[in-house]
Amino acid sequence: MLSLAAVGLAAGAVYAQEQTSFASLDTDANGELSFEEITVAWPQLTQEEFSAADLDVSGGLSGDEVATMQGAAATPAPEEAPTDPAAPPTTAPEDVAPPVDEVPSESL
């Protein structure tokens, strides 16, 4: 049985209080979860997120589509590579004055 508990969605982490099965949410037993059915467990799910997960555009989410959505939501966003604090900046901030040795002599 497909478990839908503890799913983090793109809109934010949303955690079910109790284990919720696909079958218990599929109240019409058609094998897919409608937007209304799935939002019982995840009220913060948006229609846009639901539609993006509905890969076959059937108007409902199959067990595979829910699993795919869960996997995508559980994958953390890539972080920028850490920078070496000793490395020189790649761009100079525009509001920072240049070092004294780089100021033209006529301005001194």
Structural domain boundaries in the chain: 8-74
pTM exceeds 0.75, yes or no = no
d(CA 88, CA 16): 47
d(CA 57, CA 39): 18
Q: What is the pLDDT along the chain (108 residues), one digit of tens a residue?
A: 344 433 444 333 344 445 688 999 999 999 999 999 999 988 999 999 999 999 999 999 999 999 998 887 777 766 655 566 666 655 555 555 555 555 555 555
- Quote the tokens at residue 44: 């913060």
d(CA 33, CA 88): 53
d(CA 104, CA 64): 66
CATH class of 8-74: mainly alpha
